Amino acid sequence: MPGSKGLSSPTQDSGGQSPTPPDTALAAHTLWADLRALLPSTREGLLLDFGEAVESSVLLLLQQAADLLYEEGTDSATCLGLAEIILDYSWEKLNIGTWRDVDKAWRRVYAYGCLFKVLCVCRAGGAVPEAVRTCDLGLLMGASILDNVLAKVIGVLRPHLPKRPAAGDAKEPLPKRTRTGPAEVPAIKTPERVLRLHCPSLEHFRDNFLLPQKPVILEEVVDHWPCMKKWSIEYIHQVAGSRTVPVEVGSRYTDEEWSQTLMSVDDFISHYIENQDHTGYLAQHQLFEQIPELKQDIGIPDYCCLGKGEEDDITVNAWFGPAGTVSPLHQDPQQNFLVQVMGRKYVRLYSPAETEKLYPHEGHLLHNTSQVDVEEPDLVRFPRFETAAFQACILNPGQVLFIPVQYWHYVRALDTSFSISFWWS
């Protein structure tokens, strides 16, 4: 368009850095061209409109950073400095008060700050792993901008990431830590076992399990999903190793020392999976929205069509961790299909009718979680728990457990495990 500003090339500004080798400069130029193709052709297309929630001074910083990106011969370091200021300020806004009270406008500001930082880093020929991590932070903490451009940027960056070393060249493993807590496979009495069915019809499932709200294990309904044959620790390393994810640290989320941290999938596998340290758990994370390559390997259970919502209303979460990870006895506000992909899990289920015997926490934050340690209960404090009726199962790879809404469930991984939950209404 005549008179419009186009994005400047990485070869037009060195940002004060020494000249780069021809091959490196060519790679940087190619990467920049691919990134530029994802963005609006003009600066006005960035749609930097955030309403009254965002101060005019922050909007000015965003506009200045955008102008530098779309101008010829500008200083990458100056643009990067503006992006860092935007990120620092918006990060403070994201971490004041509770997450549900954060204005979405600030999440969009943070996402734009991440986008601008990545563009500045890549235009100057900077480190691609740093750029990928920045995109992931934008996807995790920000809101979607420009038709989910940060996910598309990662797709462009992935081929430029350093290759993982071959298995024989891997660094020395961390020393093994001793797992605590029960490790044996619990014995399950016949009357307590969850019923197993082979591919029931939609009508049979609806009439006999969904409507009466009864748990059931469905077999051979996800065997055709690519994840059932493709997924392994090495495959996850290859596809997602460089990606940043939230990891729960602690034996269980009810413990006082429990916390969350951000780390790469590679580091998570090294520290917790290979080390068999059950205090690390990639739990209840929408990993498949973050990493489309993994989403291509799964489907949606056919029985979800019996719900009232659309497919986009289904919440899909990943649960990935070593043997010994525990989800305390709790209940969820939606129907749940728990699909086991790798490893085995011990699951115990209690009907909502047993709630008074399960001693839920009194506070609002944990009102859906029992105070009882299911496998090592304190029957002096919680005497009624001993009489609570339950069902149990060992969930094996390829099996799908239907957990009705509000049904209490306790889960412990018996092996290194990858599960996928589908919450639907």
At 50-66, the pLDDT tens digits run 989 999 999 999 999 99
Stretch 293-310: mean pLDDT: 94
CA distance 14 to 124: 6
**Domains contained in the chain, number:** 2
Sign (positive/negative) of CA torsion 175, 177, 178, 184?
negative
Angle in degrees, 0-180, between the axes of helices 104-123 and 149-157, rounded to the nearest 10: 30
Asked if residue 180 is part of any domain, the answer here is no
Say whether both 124 and 204 belong to one domain: no
Asked if residue 181 is part of any domain, the answer here is no
Confidence of residue 167 (pLDDT cuts 50, 70, 90): low
Residue 418 has pLDDT above 70, yes or no: yes
Pairing of strands 280-285, 244-249: antiparallel
Residue-by-residue DSSP string for 85-151: HHHHHHHHHHTSS-GGGS-HHHHHHHHHHHHHHHHHHHHTT--HHHHHHHHHHHHHHS---TTTHHH
Higher pLDDT, 4 or 128: 128
Say whether both 243 and 377 belong to one domain: yes
Asked if residue 302 is part of any domain, the answer here is yes
Say whether both 141 and 20 belong to one domain: yes
Residue 185 has pLDDT above 50, yes or no: yes
Asked if residue 182 is part of any domain, the answer here is no
Say whether both 196 and 340 belong to one domain: yes
Look up the pTM and report it: 0.86
CA distance 288 to 368: 26
Asked if residue 172 is part of any domain, the answer here is no
Residue-by-residue DSSP string for 203-271: HHHIIIIITTT--EEEESSSTTSTHHHH--HHHHHHHHTT-EEEEEESS-TTSTT-EEEEEEHHHHIII
Say whether both 300 and 342 belong to one domain: yes
Strand, coil or helix: what is 389?
coil
Say whether both 68 and 108 belong to one domain: yes
Instruction: Yes or no: say if 409 and 403 are a contact pair by the CB < 8 Å rule.
Output: yes
Say whether both 332 and 254 belong to one domain: yes
Say whether both 319 and 408 belong to one domain: yes
Domain range for 266 is 190-424
Cα angle vertex 106, ends 66, 39, to 5°?
35
CA distance 210 to 216: 10
Stretch 21-38: mean pLDDT: 77
Give the position of tokens 């130029």: 29
CB atoms within 10 A of CB 41: 14
Instruction: Yes or no: say if 277 and 271 are a contact pair by the CB < 8 Å rule.
Output: yes
Strand, coil or helix: what is 315?
strand
User: Exposed, middle or buried, 81 (CB in 10 Å: 0-12/13-18/19+)?
Assistant: middle
pLDDT value of position 416 = 97
Residue 377 has pLDDT above 90, yes or no: yes
The residue type found at 209 is F
Contacts of 80 (CB under 8 A, 6+ apart): 15, 117, 120, 121, 124
| pLDDT tens-place string over residues 79-97 | 999 999 999 999 999 998 8
Asked if residue 401 is part of any domain, the answer here is yes
Nearest Cα neighbor of 55 from 46, 47, 63, 43 is 63
Say whether both 156 and 204 belong to one domain: no
Say whether both 153 and 290 belong to one domain: no
The residue type found at 20 is T
Asked if residue 174 is part of any domain, the answer here is no
Using the CB atoms, write b or e for 390-412: b if 16+ within 10 Å: bbbbbbebbbbbbbbbebbbbbb
pLDDT value of position 175 = 45
Asked if residue 322 is part of any domain, the answer here is yes
CATH number for position 245: 2.60.120.650
Instruction: Yes or no: say if 328 and 370 are a contact pair by the CB < 8 Å rule.
Output: yes
Q: Which two tokens stand for residue 256?
A: 């006082």
CA distance 108 to 234: 34
Nearest Cα neighbor of 390 from 345, 354, 359, 360 is 354
Q: Which two tokens stand for residue 65?
A: 């950073």
Residue 178 has pLDDT above 50, yes or no: no
Confidence of residue 70 (pLDDT cuts 50, 70, 90): confident
Q: For the range 372-378, what are the long-range contacts, defined as Cβ-Cβ under 8 Å and sequence gap of 24 or more?
A: 372/329, 373/328, 374/328, 374/329, 374/348, 374/410, 375/182, 375/186, 375/410, 375/412, 376/182
Residue 160 has pLDDT above 50, yes or no: yes
Confidence of residue 32 (pLDDT cuts 50, 70, 90): confident
Say whether both 144 and 260 belong to one domain: no
Say whether both 196 and 284 belong to one domain: yes
